[in-house]
């Protein structure tokens, strides 16, 4: 349970020479917890519920800087001094935006008709260097919220009463932190394989294990393996067998010029050559570059050796992520259903 709000008037000031225990207690209470996403609550309200007003943030930042810059000479234990400086630095980093934060764990709630309400617990390591796959993108949550609607609509022929979903193999390409694939296993009660680059797999596997008991209690099953688009030698052996998945899921897959070719080839390699098989893909329309990459991807899908037809398409407003200081504009997310 979160601690009660703390007032700047209650901060133990360094000029007062507070004890280690008092300083550490204050720093702990200033911790910012990542917001819990809610599909029915606006992003601005979420931020207001989890962040302080601008003036308070400035006062906190000033206070934290005073702790970091202080010699803390009245505290005799050097280990305690280091612990205070580290804790104050973490609190300051939390107020510098997502890129400035260290590791975080967020909870993502789901309420749908296909299963009992549940939440996924997703760890995101620090964002450093080329680590897009270590961040949970809003589009994956947006598509995950549509899964029961998709099952009742474009995938109704696969989720009828006579076909147990537990016998259906589903693949997620570019799983990242695993939110979409884990949700699919829980909501669809299906066998879902989550995949990404080898460098992403450690965190992905952690999130799978944390959520596995809950998913299995709902009737789903999850597995994982490295799958590098266009590089079989960097992929798990289990994915060498082509065209074995009835459903392929993808969210937010296009960032580089080579991604349209690599993704269309990966879908062609993994999706069953069966008229019932479907690929569900969501692509945020952030800028002209993203739109150009999507146009190339759609062209590739239509012109493949075994063409994959766009059976239906939709647009949905979403949000990329949360930020402490301002609300990022909504992003229009295209999503489509492909079949053989």
Report the alpha-carbon angle 266-289-265, nearest 5: 10
Separation CA 168–CA 298 (nearest Å): 26
Domain covering 104-339 assigned CATH 3.40.50.150 in the classification: yes
Which pLDDT does position 89 carry in this prediction?
Answer: 87
Separation CA 242–CA 270 (nearest Å): 5
Q: Which residues of the chain have pLDDT under 70?
A: 1-6, 33-55, 96-102, 113-115, 127-133, 161-167, 320-329
Report the Cα–Cα distance between both ends of the chain, in Å, rounded.
Answer: 50
Compute φ and ψ for 323, nearest 5 degrees.
-145, 145
Separation CA 170–CA 160 (nearest Å): 16
Which pLDDT does position 48 carry in this prediction?
Answer: 52
H/E stretch holding 192 reads strand 191-196
Separation CA 178–CA 182 (nearest Å): 6
Question: In this predicted model, what pLDDT tens digit does every residue of 260-293 receive, in sequence order?
Answer: 999 999 999 999 999 999 999 999 998 889 999 9
Taking the CB of residue 162, how many other CB atoms lie within 10 A of it?
Answer: 4
Which pLDDT does position 318 carry in this prediction?
Answer: 79
Which pLDDT does position 116 carry in this prediction?
Answer: 79
Which pLDDT does position 323 carry in this prediction?
Answer: 45
Which pLDDT does position 181 carry in this prediction?
Answer: 97
Contact in structure between 227 and 260 (CB atoms under 8 Å): no
Which pLDDT does position 43 carry in this prediction?
Answer: 46
């Amino acid at each position: 349970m979160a601690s009660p709000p703390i007032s700047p008037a209650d901060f133990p000031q360094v000029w007062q020479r507070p004890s280690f225990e008092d300083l550490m207690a204050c720093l702990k209470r200033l911790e910012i917890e990542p917001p819990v996403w809610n599909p029915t609550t606006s992003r601005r309200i979420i931020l207001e519920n989890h962040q302080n007003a601008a003036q308070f943030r400035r006062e906190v930042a000033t206070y934290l800087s005073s702790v970091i810059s202080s010699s803390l000479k009245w505290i005799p234990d050097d280990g305690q001094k280091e612990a205070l400086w580290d804790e104050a630095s973490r609190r300051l980093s939390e107020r510098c935006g997502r890129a400035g934060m260290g590791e975080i764990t967020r909870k993502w709630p789901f309420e749908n008709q296909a299963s009992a309400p549940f939440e996924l617990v997703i760890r995101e390591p620090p964002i450093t260097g080329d680590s897009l796959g270590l961040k949970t993108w809003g589009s994956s949550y947006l598509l995950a919220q549509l899964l029961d609607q998709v099952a009742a609509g474009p995938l109704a022929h696969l989720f009828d009463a006579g076909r147990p979903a537990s016998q259906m193999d589903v693949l997620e390409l570019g799983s990242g932190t695993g939110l979409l694939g884990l949700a699919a296993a829980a909501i669809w009660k299906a066998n879902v394989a989550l995949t990404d680059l080898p460098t992403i797999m450690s965190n992905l596997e952690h999130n799978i294990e944390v959520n596995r008991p809950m998913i299995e209690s709902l009737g789903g099953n999850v597995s994982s393996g490295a799958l590098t688009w266009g590089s079989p030698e960097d992929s798990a052996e289990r994915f060498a067998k082509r065209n074995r998945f009835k459903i392929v899921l993808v969210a937010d897959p296009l960032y580089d010029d080579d991604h349209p070719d690599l993704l269309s080839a990966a879908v062609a390699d993994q999706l069953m050559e069966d008229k019932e098989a479907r690929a569900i893909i969501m692509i945020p329309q952030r800028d002209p570059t993203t739109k150009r990459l999507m146009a190339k991807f759609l062209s590739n899908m239509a012109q493949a050796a075994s063409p994959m037809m766009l059976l239906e398409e939709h647009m949905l407003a979403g949000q990329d992520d949360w930020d402490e200081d301002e609300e990022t504009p909504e992003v229009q997310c295209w999503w489509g259903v492909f079949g053989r």
